[in-house]
Structure 1
Amino acid sequence: MRSNELQRIELKEYETRRFPKTEISEELGLKIWQSYGKQISIDEPSFKNGREWDLTANGWAGHIPLTPELEIALLPKVDIKNLFGMLEYAYRLKSFKFLDGLTDCDSLKDFYETLANFLALRVLDRGRKGFFRSYQPRRDKIPYVRGRFDVRRSCQKPWDVLPECSYEEHTSDVEDNQILVWTLQRILKSGACTERSLPQVRRAYQSLRGLTTPVPCDPQDCVSRLYSRLNEDYQPMHALCRFFLEQSGPSHRVGGRTMIPFLVEMAKLYELFVAEWLKANTPPDFVVEPHDEVVIGPGGRIRFNIDLVVYERGSQKALFVLDTKYKAPDHPGNDDISQVVTYATTKDCDEAVLIYPKPLNMDVMIGKIRVRSLAFSLDGHLEVAGRRFLEDLFSGVER
């Protein structure tokens, strides 16, 4: 690429772009292939492509700061407003009123930066009130007796004059705050924030850094947490942290800095969005169970993780087995059909449903199992598409 100016390559989902051989060096092509081969398919210049580079985005959206002179923007096929709507449901952000105005963003990078700014402002606001603290068990050698004194150890080592004590310390270095400071650190390294949000993110990070250890956290650390009146305002912050941690790619060096790309895997987002939308909108007589695991065979060696199962609340009977597929083929593939029929068999369920972003109009009987393809469209208004999908799903079911 030409130096001394920031170059931006835009790749739209599943579309191939061709670049002259002089635009991308072999060193840069190798870096894309080695670091982002999962997100970007790259074919080097050859007689097959007119001696040019072919780059294709593989179902991911986001931002990759590749070098100080080059960034790659992976653009989703989904309209940007609908992408925001998917993220709101998928990460349970919809109930948090601070998201008003996000639809004014015109790119995924703007959305990322706006959310980062929201998180930073919430952290700063909590810091003014005082960060959450709790009592944590400690065991240490200290110059005075505190809590329970280990007499046995003292007798065994009389030359060690410092008493070893077990006690509880009222501290802010707890997991609730560790999640926040770790996430803010990752955001600062992302390269996706500009001076519009960086000052707030830096201030929020520094406000916690002196009180809390930035321990590496997993996205699952942000969910199924217990909240009380003392830390209930942490719930939306942890929801945002989960979003940032799940969309952080592997770190790499850009110039003298460690950079963390922002990457959204669209297939996983679609699966999570459909699951959360159904949980929020399915009639109360039914229960939606995402990732329902089935263990069969001797020793439980055969395991299936089913995307979604809809149960009748009273009888606990499985009414539907659903599998989401973020792709747009001309017709459902044999592998998809075999998979969902197997899932339905393990749940003794008569209804197997494949969910695609566009209608494929399949409705067949395989033995006693009805196999359908239904569309949860990402075009147009998501709520309208969801209601249409729900109506199609329950057609023929007495409620």
Structure 2
Amino acid sequence: MTLGLHRVSVREHAWLCTEPVPASLDCAQLTESAFDYLCSLSERFSSGGARLLQVEGRRRLKLDNFVGVIQTPCGTVLEIVPKHHAEGGSLAEARLLLRKLLLALLDLPTRDVGAASLQLFDAPLSEWVMGRFLQELDTLVSRGLRFEYQRVDEELPFLHGQLNLNRQLRQPPGREHRFHVRHEVYLPDRPENRLLKLALERVRQGTQDANHWRLAQELSFRLAEIPASRQVEQDFRAWGHDRLLAHYQAIKPWCELILSQHMPLAVAGDYQGMSLLFPMEKLFERFVARWLRASLAVGLDMRTPARSESLCEHQQQPIFRLEPDILIADGGQRWVLDTKWKLLDASKRADKYGLSQSDFYQLFAYGQKYLGGAGRMALIYPRTESFQSPLDTFDFGGGLSLEVLPFDLDQERLLGIERLRLARRTHEERLVA
């Protein structure tokens, strides 16, 4: 079990510095080495087209809208949680929200995890992920690992299996008593098991929870004969999906998460530790889309995202693809919905509530290309204390309108959805689904 880790918990857009400051979710002190590591990590992100943080001066930086956990080589664990309250909000609430969003990203049913366990498990994201992986692996091992027959060619002092005549005839003098044979052995050395063994080793080395470490040690002994994967991507591609591996499907998302194969963005480089990062825009988009898919009436076609239209053509080829987050179709009628992870303030009419003009230009283009210039669209933002009800409708003219709606992440409902006049499931249908 790794020792000596120093945990720092903050929210998106928090300030980090090296000088002593009153600790809060919006400001925290880091060691010099952790600060330097974040700066170097930010450079790698920037070269890949993403921005992890803004560096202001030599000893001060501001985080962007990524959430998750970063473990530095010096032992600092930086936990970044969502900021879904304009003012206030506790660390426990933010952790619960992040786990809820993560379940939607992995497409896991919340009921399989249990709401009570989410609320009671007051630990950073990395420990929660490792705990879920260990629980699933313990269940899997108890049910039985999948073995497969593998052909083995070897030289034995006795005849076993099929005699390899070509090699036996070339046996040198004095070794006629040895047999070159070919036979099959029933082994657990499969791509799925190799990946689980590698993920288990990372959890065993990275956990700070004593119960997790003990369970990881026990499982490590039970999987001792399985080699760890050395070709992660290749083994994930070879992961089987037949009915004999159906009981492996529950653990696969957690294994992908730990081995950094299933995330919108992961920390890359020589040192990773147990680092997981996610853009909040993607988490929010996936959560809203999943909720809509479960809430809309059966038969509606929903695409996330839509990619069928472009802004214009150049040399008879489409250019500048238009990709709304959600496109819903019911026969010949369509709706365009876009999600934005930004905190609005409904009281600031003079400041346009915090809305972005570029977002409205974008939605206007979506309306022209996907709706033919007439229809209903929506921009969906998180509900906060300062944005609790839909804004008045925005009219583009020509029959094209835009609703700005709040999504309540705590109650899991879209306020003002009735304005879009979408066919929805009844309460009884949602319970069955």
Question: TM-score under structure 1 normalisation?
Answer: 0.72
User: 1:249 aligns to what?
Assistant: 267
Q: Which moved more, 1:95-104 or 1:230-239?
A: 95-104
Q: Does the CA contact (< 8 Å) of 1:29 and 1:42 recur in 2?
A: no
| Unaligned runs of at least 5 residues, structure 2 | 22-28, 44-50, 85-92, 173-178, 345-352, 427-433
1:365 and 2:396 aligned: yes
1:351 and 2:351 aligned: no
Deviation at residue 273 of structure 1 after TM alignment: 0.9
User: 1:394 aligns to what?
Assistant: 421
Distance 1:106 1:221, change over 3 A: same
Q: Does the CA contact (< 8 Å) of 1:322 and 1:352 recur in 2?
A: yes
1:308 and 2:326 aligned: yes
User: 1:332 aligns to what?
Assistant: 355
Larger Rg: 2
Q: Does the CA contact (< 8 Å) of 1:332 and 1:373 recur in 2?
A: no
After TM superposition, list the pairs within 5 Å mapping 1:22-61 onto structure 2: 28-36=34-42, 38-45=51-58, 53-61=59-67
User: 1:83 aligns to what?
Assistant: 98
Distance 2:235 2:395 in 1: 38
1:74 and 2:80 aligned: yes
Distance 1:164 1:304 in 2: 62
The one-letter code matched in structure 1 to 2:68 is: G
Distance 1:370 1:396 in 2: 18
1:35-79 deviation digits (Å, cap 9, x = unpaired):
14643333234xxxxxxx333221222332224453322232243
Q: Does the CA contact (< 8 Å) of 2:296 and 2:422 recur in 1?
A: no
Q: Does the CA contact (< 8 Å) of 1:324 and 1:354 recur in 2?
A: yes
The one-letter code matched in structure 1 to 2:369 is: T
The one-letter code matched in structure 2 to 1:309 is: L
Distance 1:220 1:56, change over 3 A: farther
Distance 1:325 1:220 in 2: 36
1:10 and 2:9 aligned: yes
- Corresponding residue SS for 2:245: coil
Q: Does the CA contact (< 8 Å) of 1:290 and 1:309 recur in 2?
A: yes
- Corresponding residue SS for 1:89: helix
Q: Which moved more, 1:212-221 or 1:70-79?
A: 212-221
Distance 1:146 1:6, change over 3 A: closer
User: 1:200 aligns to what?
Assistant: 215
User: 1:63 aligns to what?
Assistant: 69
After TM superposition, list the pairs within 5 Å mapping 1:193-232 onto structure 2: 193-205=208-220, 207-208=222-223, 210-211=225-226, 213-217=228-232, 226-228=241-243, 230-232=244-246
Deviation at residue 198 of structure 1 after TM alignment: 1.9
Q: Does the CA contact (< 8 Å) of 1:376 and 1:389 recur in 2?
A: no
Q: Does the CA contact (< 8 Å) of 1:63 and 1:192 recur in 2?
A: no
- Corresponding residue SS for 2:378: strand
Deviation at residue 197 of structure 1 after TM alignment: 0.7
- Tell me the matched-pair count: 366
Distance 2:161 2:326 in 1: 52
1:291 and 2:316 aligned: no
User: 2:196 aligns to what?
Assistant: 180
1:224-270 deviation digits (Å, cap 9, x = unpaired):
97352x322222212333444345533554xxxx6231333322211
Distance 1:128 1:227, change over 3 A: same
What RMSD, in angstroms, separates the aligned Cα atoms of the two structures?
4.4
1:265-306 deviation digits (Å, cap 9, x = unpaired):
322211111111111221214232212322654455554443
User: 1:374 aligns to what?
Assistant: 405
Distance 1:327 1:100, change over 3 A: closer
Distance 1:10 1:369, change over 3 A: same
Q: Does the CA contact (< 8 Å) of 1:117 and 1:200 recur in 2?
A: no
Identical residues among aligned pairs (%): 17
Q: Does the CA contact (< 8 Å) of 2:17 and 2:30 recur in 1?
A: no
Q: Does the CA contact (< 8 Å) of 1:6 and 1:69 recur in 2?
A: yes
